[in-house]
Structure 1
Amino acid sequence: MLSAQRLTAGVMAVASLAFALAGCRDPFAPPPCGPPEYFVSPSAVQAGGQVTVSAQDTTCDALYGADARIQVTVTDAAGQTVLEELAPMTDDGAFTFVFTVPDTMAAGEGGVSAVPYGVDWCDDTGVNNRADPGTLSLERASCAHRLVPLTVHAAPPA
């Protein structure tokens, strides 16, 4: 018959092994919460037209905070950044950002990127580092930014 002490030691050993195999992530913790999927509408527009970039709240507990912001970056067909702005975002990641396509934006397929500002949402530790407003010691290492296509048609001549 196993003693309570031996049983406890066995459970702890199994938990430690599971923790180590999970890449130092607590296997019983909820999965990491990434930024919500965002949408760009319309997907094709003339220079000078308006575009909306938006996302609904995540289905996980994102904890972005009361002062959360989203960084929206727009690149043109030539790969040049034509807009980079911050906009308010909810604690769970919802946002709506409307911008006017610059008349100078190169025609063709560009892209829109929207990422939570000032947080390391791409760590591999499984720790929600957004819950601690302290200085981040992690750097994004393995995550590529999502880029949603935006086709810009040249503005008609005046």
Structure 2
Amino acid sequence: MGSGFSLLLADTNLCTSPSPEPSLGDLPESCVASVLVHLDPQEICRLALLNRAFWGASSADFVWESKLPSNYESVIERVFDDFPSNLCKRDIYARLSRLNSFDGGTKKVWLDKSTGRICLSVSSKGLAITGIDDRRYWNRIPTEESRLADQIKCSGRFAR
């Protein structure tokens, strides 16, 4: 009885016959997302172009939350004045991966895409000499020989 009904529907083009072999597009998004958690962000973005299941799975918040550092919320509070609260984790990752200036442009922070760590670059103008903040004891002398062009570069965790 069931085969006759299927044959009837196939003849009237009311339903399409399933593909004889399963494909990657047949995988549930939740299964694909469980695999994507273990990949690098660049690999996730490349696989998102594969098909709709991978695209949907690559948008899952838990996939991108695993790529964000544990203290990303405190970084957002310190760096951004008006950070939108309705962004998904993928968009938060994208914003943090850019070079973000703060503290009057004397400091820059970004998320290193290969390690997932927060990087901080501090300009010499952003430094303060504790205890000897008197111009008689020091002068800032810019030089062309400076490798970092007036910046001291440090990488690691963003400390509070």
Task: Tell me if TM exceeds 0.5.
Answer: no
Q: Based on CA coordinates, which of the two structures has the bigger radius of gyration?
A: 2
Which structure has greater strand proportion? 1
Which structure has greater helix proportion? 2
> Shorter-chain TM-score: which interval?
under 0.3
TM-score (norm 2): 0.24
TM-score (norm 1): 0.24
